[in-house]
Homo-oligomer: A and B are copies of this chain.
């Protein structure tokens, strides 16, 4: 998207951007509410998050339709097609973030009011990092900040480090008292969902970078789940 010429293709792409921004706000607020519901055992709030997933799905379908219409009407060249495909992919990752928030919300009942203070603190801290990324990536995309998008991709490692420490904490609680096992297992999946949300943000940053610059970020994307290889001795 050059600064000098604004084609009407770009103008139409801006409509799609608006939908991406809406989906991004909703994704962020779903994650925020899901974690708050989890840490305060608020089943009503959890229910709200679960129902918001339908709104998210509707927005994704709207975006898909607009993208299809844009392509069919404007018949863009390959490079512009890739940009539209990038936007469709971004919407796909945002929809998945909503899904993961919903899955956290669904576990609120199973976890119950059992989470110890320290653990709540760690999960809360992890969710704050994740939320910063969810809101950040959309802001950077809407502001066409290519450099920021490149940097943000690196921040996913902070989430992975946090996840590994929450994972270890949860194992410790389970080993201390078998009565913690069921609740901690559900919390483990919640933490894993947060970590996966971080991965989706990374995908979004990569697609956003492509839409903004027309070039790919190098593929040295940082690794996903540290615990899969590093906790064998824990």
A-B contact pairs, 7 of them (CB 8 A): A103-B224, A103-B225, A103-B228, A110-B232, A174-B178, A186-B228, A189-B228
What are the residues of chain B within 8 A of A153 when measuring CB–CB? none
Cβ–Cβ < 8 Å partners of A142 in chain B: none
Q: Count A-side interface residues using an 8 Å CB cutoff.
A: 40
Looking at the complex, which one of B76, B103, B109, B229 makes contact with A109 (CB distance below 8 Å)?
Answer: B229
Pair B188/A185 contact, Cβ less than 8 Å? yes
A190-234 contact mask (Cβ, 8 Å, vs B): 1 or 0: 001000000000000000000000000000000011011101101
Which residues of chain B are near A186, meaning CB under 8 Å?
227-228
> How far is it, in angstroms, between the C-alpha of A83 and the C-alpha of B66 when the chains are bound?
15
Q: Which of A103, A107, A185, A189 has the most CB of B within 10 A?
A: A185
Query: A171 with B185: in contact, given A85-B64, A103-B224, A231-B110 (CB under 8 Å)?
Result: yes
In residues 140-165 of chain A, which contact B (Cβ within 8 Å)?
Answer: none
Q: Is the CB of B88 within 8 A of A85?
A: yes
Question: Is the pair A181, B189 in contact by a Cβ cutoff of 8 Å?
Answer: no
